[in-house]
Protein backbone atom coordinates (compact mmCIF):
# COMPACT_ATOMS: atom_id res chain seq x y z
CA UNK A 1 0.00 0.00 0.00
CA UNK A 2 1.25 3.47 -0.86
CA UNK A 3 -0.20 6.61 0.65
CA UNK A 4 -1.00 9.52 -1.63
CA UNK A 5 0.33 12.30 0.60
CA UNK A 6 -0.54 15.01 -1.91
CA UNK A 7 -4.23 14.18 -1.73
CA UNK A 8 -4.18 13.77 2.06
CA UNK A 9 -6.06 16.58 3.82
CA UNK A 10 -5.79 15.72 7.53
CA UNK A 11 -6.89 19.03 9.03
CA UNK A 12 -9.88 19.87 6.87
CA UNK A 13 -11.07 16.26 7.05
CA UNK A 14 -10.71 16.10 10.81
CA UNK A 15 -12.42 19.50 11.08
CA UNK A 16 -15.22 18.40 8.76
CA UNK A 17 -15.64 15.27 10.87
CA UNK A 18 -15.94 17.32 14.07
CA UNK A 19 -18.58 19.54 12.40
CA UNK A 20 -20.50 16.41 11.35
CA UNK A 21 -20.22 15.14 14.92
CA UNK A 22 -21.67 18.43 16.20
CA UNK A 23 -24.59 18.10 13.77
CA UNK A 24 -25.21 14.53 14.97
CA UNK A 25 -25.10 15.76 18.58
CA UNK A 26 -27.49 18.63 17.83
CA UNK A 27 -30.10 16.48 16.07
CA UNK A 28 -29.92 13.96 18.91
CA UNK A 29 -30.09 16.42 21.78
CA UNK A 30 -32.49 18.96 20.23
CA UNK A 31 -34.78 16.78 18.12
CA UNK A 32 -34.21 13.42 19.79
CA UNK A 33 -33.43 11.87 16.40
CA UNK A 34 -30.61 9.83 14.94
CA UNK A 35 -28.88 11.64 12.08
CA UNK A 36 -28.96 8.70 9.71
CA UNK A 37 -29.41 10.24 6.31
CA UNK A 38 -30.79 7.22 4.47
CA UNK A 39 -33.34 6.78 7.27
CA UNK A 40 -34.38 10.43 7.33
CA UNK A 41 -34.71 10.52 3.54
CA UNK A 42 -36.36 7.10 3.27
CA UNK A 43 -38.95 8.13 5.86
CA UNK A 44 -40.07 10.90 3.51
CA UNK A 45 -41.22 8.24 1.07
CA UNK A 46 -43.74 6.86 3.54
CA UNK A 47 -44.99 9.95 5.31
CA UNK A 48 -46.78 9.63 8.62
CA UNK A 49 -48.45 12.62 10.15
CA UNK A 50 -46.22 14.77 12.33
CA UNK A 51 -43.15 13.05 10.99
CA UNK A 52 -42.75 14.74 7.64
CA UNK A 53 -41.72 18.32 8.32
CA UNK A 54 -38.50 17.79 10.29
CA UNK A 55 -37.33 15.22 7.74
CA UNK A 56 -37.98 17.56 4.82
CA UNK A 57 -36.29 20.43 6.67
CA UNK A 58 -33.20 18.33 7.43
CA UNK A 59 -32.90 17.21 3.80
CA UNK A 60 -33.38 20.77 2.59
CA UNK A 61 -30.56 21.85 4.91
CA UNK A 62 -28.24 19.28 3.34
CA UNK A 63 -29.18 20.31 -0.19
CA UNK A 64 -28.71 24.00 0.68
CA UNK A 65 -25.34 23.51 2.39
CA UNK A 66 -23.36 24.22 -0.78
CA UNK A 67 -25.22 27.51 -1.25
CA UNK A 68 -24.11 28.69 2.20
CA UNK A 69 -20.59 27.32 1.72
CA UNK A 70 -20.28 29.37 -1.46
CA UNK A 71 -20.93 32.57 0.49
CA UNK A 72 -17.82 31.89 2.55
CA UNK A 73 -15.47 30.57 -0.12
CA UNK A 74 -15.15 28.57 -3.33
CA UNK A 75 -16.75 25.12 -3.29
CA UNK A 76 -14.32 22.22 -3.00
CA UNK A 77 -13.76 20.07 -6.08
CA UNK A 78 -16.55 17.70 -6.99
CA UNK A 79 -15.39 15.29 -9.63
CA UNK A 80 -17.77 12.51 -10.63
CA UNK A 81 -15.85 9.94 -12.61
CA UNK A 82 -18.58 7.36 -13.25
CA UNK A 83 -20.79 7.55 -16.33
CA UNK A 84 -24.56 7.95 -16.17
CA UNK A 85 -25.26 4.24 -16.47
CA UNK A 86 -22.96 3.31 -13.58
CA UNK A 87 -24.35 6.18 -11.49
CA UNK A 88 -27.90 4.95 -12.03
CA UNK A 89 -27.04 1.38 -11.03
CA UNK A 90 -25.04 2.63 -8.05
CA UNK A 91 -27.83 4.96 -6.96
CA UNK A 92 -30.42 2.17 -6.94
CA UNK A 93 -28.02 -0.09 -4.99
CA UNK A 94 -27.33 2.65 -2.44
CA UNK A 95 -31.03 3.46 -2.03
CA UNK A 96 -32.19 -0.14 -1.76
CA UNK A 97 -29.20 -1.32 0.26
CA UNK A 98 -29.27 1.43 2.88
CA UNK A 99 -33.00 0.91 3.47
CA UNK A 100 -32.66 -2.87 3.63
CA UNK A 101 -29.65 -2.63 5.91
CA UNK A 102 -31.30 0.15 7.97
CA UNK A 103 -28.49 2.64 7.59
CA UNK A 104 -25.57 4.19 5.76
CA UNK A 105 -22.29 5.91 6.56
CA UNK A 106 -24.01 8.35 8.91
CA UNK A 107 -26.56 6.15 10.69
CA UNK A 108 -24.49 2.99 11.10
CA UNK A 109 -21.09 4.60 10.65
CA UNK A 110 -21.06 7.81 12.67
CA UNK A 111 -24.08 7.31 14.97
CA UNK A 112 -23.80 3.55 15.38
CA UNK A 113 -20.11 3.58 16.20
CA UNK A 114 -20.67 6.54 18.54
CA UNK A 115 -23.18 4.59 20.60
CA UNK A 116 -20.97 1.49 20.48
CA UNK A 117 -23.59 -0.63 18.71
CA UNK A 118 -22.32 -4.04 17.62
CA UNK A 119 -25.01 -4.29 14.95
CA UNK A 120 -23.94 -0.96 13.42
CA UNK A 121 -20.24 -1.84 13.68
CA UNK A 122 -20.91 -5.04 11.73
CA UNK A 123 -22.86 -3.10 9.09
CA UNK A 124 -20.08 -0.51 8.84
CA UNK A 125 -17.41 -3.18 8.45
CA UNK A 126 -19.48 -4.86 5.74
CA UNK A 127 -20.13 -1.79 3.60
CA UNK A 128 -16.57 -0.52 4.01
CA UNK A 129 -15.12 -3.89 3.01
CA UNK A 130 -17.53 -4.17 0.09
CA UNK A 131 -16.64 -0.63 -0.96
CA UNK A 132 -12.91 -1.44 -0.86
CA UNK A 133 -13.52 -4.64 -2.83
CA UNK A 134 -15.69 -2.92 -5.44
CA UNK A 135 -13.11 -0.21 -6.11
CA UNK A 136 -10.40 -2.87 -6.31
CA UNK A 137 -12.35 -4.86 -8.87
CA UNK A 138 -13.27 -1.79 -10.94
CA UNK A 139 -9.89 -0.06 -10.88
CA UNK A 140 -7.44 -2.91 -10.77
CA UNK A 141 -9.17 -5.83 -12.51
CA UNK A 142 -11.72 -4.39 -14.96
CA UNK A 143 -10.09 -1.10 -15.99
CA UNK A 144 -6.53 -2.34 -15.71
CA UNK B 1 -39.22 24.76 16.27
CA UNK B 2 -38.21 21.14 15.62
CA UNK B 3 -38.32 21.74 11.88
CA UNK B 4 -36.19 24.86 12.20
CA UNK B 5 -33.59 23.04 14.26
CA UNK B 6 -33.62 20.13 11.75
CA UNK B 7 -33.01 22.62 8.92
CA UNK B 8 -30.04 24.18 10.73
CA UNK B 9 -28.63 20.78 11.64
CA UNK B 10 -28.97 19.63 8.02
CA UNK B 11 -27.03 22.72 6.94
CA UNK B 12 -24.28 22.14 9.49
CA UNK B 13 -24.08 18.46 8.56
CA UNK B 14 -23.73 19.42 4.90
CA UNK B 15 -21.04 22.02 5.64
CA UNK B 16 -19.13 19.34 7.56
CA UNK B 17 -19.37 16.95 4.61
CA UNK B 18 -18.10 19.67 2.25
CA UNK B 19 -15.26 20.67 4.54
CA UNK B 20 -14.27 17.07 5.18
CA UNK B 21 -14.05 16.21 1.49
CA UNK B 22 -16.88 13.64 1.51
CA UNK B 23 -18.81 15.36 -1.26
CA UNK B 24 -16.10 14.74 -3.87
CA UNK B 25 -16.60 11.22 -5.25
CA UNK B 26 -13.02 11.26 -6.58
CA UNK B 27 -11.76 11.74 -3.02
CA UNK B 28 -14.06 9.05 -1.64
CA UNK B 29 -12.85 6.60 -4.30
CA UNK B 30 -9.28 7.60 -3.43
CA UNK B 31 -10.05 6.49 0.12
CA UNK B 32 -11.68 3.25 -0.99
CA UNK B 33 -8.79 2.43 -3.34
CA UNK B 34 -6.42 0.67 -0.96
CA UNK B 35 -4.32 -0.74 -3.80
CA UNK B 36 -3.83 2.58 -5.57
CA UNK B 37 -2.38 5.73 -4.06
CA UNK B 38 -4.41 5.62 -0.86
CA UNK B 39 -5.85 8.85 0.55
CA UNK B 40 -6.60 8.17 4.24
CA UNK B 41 -8.37 11.54 4.78
CA UNK B 42 -11.86 10.13 5.17
CA UNK B 43 -10.81 7.97 8.09
CA UNK B 44 -10.20 11.27 9.87
CA UNK B 45 -13.69 12.50 8.96
CA UNK B 46 -15.09 9.40 10.63
CA UNK B 47 -12.72 9.74 13.58
CA UNK B 48 -13.59 13.39 14.14
CA UNK B 49 -17.33 12.75 13.89
CA UNK B 50 -17.30 9.71 16.18
CA UNK B 51 -15.21 11.42 18.85
CA UNK B 52 -17.87 14.12 19.20
CA UNK B 53 -20.67 11.60 18.71
CA UNK B 54 -19.53 9.39 21.59
CA UNK B 55 -19.90 12.31 24.00
CA UNK B 56 -23.35 13.18 22.64
CA UNK B 57 -24.67 9.62 22.89
CA UNK B 58 -23.22 9.13 26.35
CA UNK B 59 -25.14 12.20 27.47
CA UNK B 60 -28.29 11.20 25.57
CA UNK B 61 -28.44 7.70 27.07
CA UNK B 62 -29.53 9.17 30.38
CA UNK B 63 -32.38 11.17 28.87
CA UNK B 64 -35.85 10.30 27.58
CA UNK B 65 -36.60 13.78 26.29
CA UNK B 66 -34.62 16.09 24.02
CA UNK B 67 -33.72 19.62 25.08
CA UNK B 68 -36.63 20.89 22.94
CA UNK B 69 -39.00 18.46 24.64
CA UNK B 70 -39.24 15.88 21.85
CA UNK B 71 -39.15 12.18 22.77
CA UNK B 72 -35.63 10.77 22.63
CA UNK B 73 -35.51 7.11 21.68
CA UNK B 74 -32.27 5.41 20.82
CA UNK B 75 -32.39 2.48 18.39
CA UNK B 76 -33.09 -0.82 20.10
CA UNK B 77 -32.37 -3.32 17.30
CA UNK B 78 -29.37 -5.47 18.15
CA UNK B 79 -29.61 -8.46 15.87
CA UNK B 80 -27.22 -9.00 12.98
CA UNK B 81 -29.51 -10.59 10.42
CA UNK B 82 -29.65 -11.31 6.72
CA UNK B 83 -31.28 -7.97 5.92
CA UNK B 84 -28.50 -6.04 7.61
CA UNK B 85 -25.78 -8.05 5.89
CA UNK B 86 -27.28 -8.12 2.38
CA UNK B 87 -28.38 -4.48 2.55
CA UNK B 88 -24.94 -3.34 3.65
CA UNK B 89 -23.30 -5.37 0.87
CA UNK B 90 -25.55 -3.75 -1.76
CA UNK B 91 -24.83 -0.32 -0.29
CA UNK B 92 -21.07 -0.98 -0.28
CA UNK B 93 -21.11 -1.99 -3.95
CA UNK B 94 -23.06 1.13 -4.93
CA UNK B 95 -20.79 3.34 -2.82
CA UNK B 96 -17.70 1.81 -4.42
CA UNK B 97 -19.12 2.22 -7.93
CA UNK B 98 -20.07 5.90 -7.63
CA UNK B 99 -18.19 7.29 -4.63
CA UNK B 100 -21.45 8.70 -3.27
CA UNK B 101 -23.27 7.77 -0.10
CA UNK B 102 -26.64 9.37 0.70
CA UNK B 103 -25.57 12.52 2.60
CA UNK B 104 -22.87 13.73 0.23
CA UNK B 105 -25.14 12.92 -2.73
CA UNK B 106 -27.80 15.29 -1.35
CA UNK B 107 -25.21 18.01 -0.81
CA UNK B 108 -23.89 17.49 -4.35
CA UNK B 109 -27.47 17.69 -5.62
CA UNK B 110 -27.55 21.25 -4.29
CA UNK B 111 -24.63 22.21 -6.53
CA UNK B 112 -26.76 21.26 -9.54
CA UNK B 113 -24.21 18.84 -10.97
CA UNK B 114 -26.22 16.78 -13.52
CA UNK B 115 -24.53 13.53 -12.51
CA UNK B 116 -25.43 14.13 -8.86
CA UNK B 117 -29.05 14.74 -9.90
CA UNK B 118 -29.11 11.40 -11.72
CA UNK B 119 -27.54 9.59 -8.77
CA UNK B 120 -30.07 11.04 -6.29
CA UNK B 121 -33.01 10.15 -8.54
CA UNK B 122 -31.71 6.58 -8.85
CA UNK B 123 -31.21 6.45 -5.07
CA UNK B 124 -34.81 7.56 -4.49
CA UNK B 125 -35.95 4.90 -6.96
CA UNK B 126 -34.03 2.32 -4.89
CA UNK B 127 -35.63 3.57 -1.67
CA UNK B 128 -39.07 3.54 -3.24
CA UNK B 129 -38.40 0.01 -4.49
CA UNK B 130 -37.70 -0.98 -0.89
CA UNK B 131 -41.06 0.43 0.21
CA UNK B 132 -42.82 -1.47 -2.57
CA UNK B 133 -41.03 -4.73 -1.72
CA UNK B 134 -41.84 -4.26 1.96
CA UNK B 135 -45.39 -2.99 1.80
CA UNK B 136 -46.63 -3.55 -1.70
CA UNK B 137 -47.86 -0.83 -4.05
CA UNK B 138 -49.80 1.81 -2.21
Number of compact structural domains in chain B: 1
The interface predicted TM-score (ipTM) is: 0.96
Contacts of B55 in chain A (CB under 8 A): 25
pLDDT tens digits along A81-92: 999 999 999 999
Task: Please give chain B's pLDDT, 138 residues, in tens.
Answer: 899 999 999 999 999 999 999 999 999 999 999 998 899 999 999 999 999 999 999 999 989 999 999 999 899 889 999 999 999 999 999 999 999 999 999 999 999 999 999 999 999 999 999 999 988 766
Tell me how far apart the alpha carbons of residues A78 and A87 are, in angstroms, rounded to a whole number.
15
B59 shares contact with chain A (CB less than 8 Å): yes
Sequence-ordered list of residues with C-beta below 8 angstroms from that of B74, at least 6 positions apart, any chain: A34, A115, B57, B60, B61
Tell me how far apart the alpha carbons of residues A112 and A106 are, in angstroms, rounded to a whole number.
8
* A78/B93 CB distance under 8 A: no
- Do B130 and A42 contact (CB within 8 A), yes or no? yes
Amino acid sequence: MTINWEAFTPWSSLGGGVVIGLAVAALLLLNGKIAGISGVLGGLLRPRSGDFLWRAAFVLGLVAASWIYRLIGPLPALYIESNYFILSVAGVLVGLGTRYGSGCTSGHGVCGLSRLSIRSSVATMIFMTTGFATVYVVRHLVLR
Amino acid sequence: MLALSALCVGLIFGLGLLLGGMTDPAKVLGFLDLAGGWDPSLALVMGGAVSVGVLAFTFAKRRTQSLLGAPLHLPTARQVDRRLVLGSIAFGVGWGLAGFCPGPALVALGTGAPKAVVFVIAMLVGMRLFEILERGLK
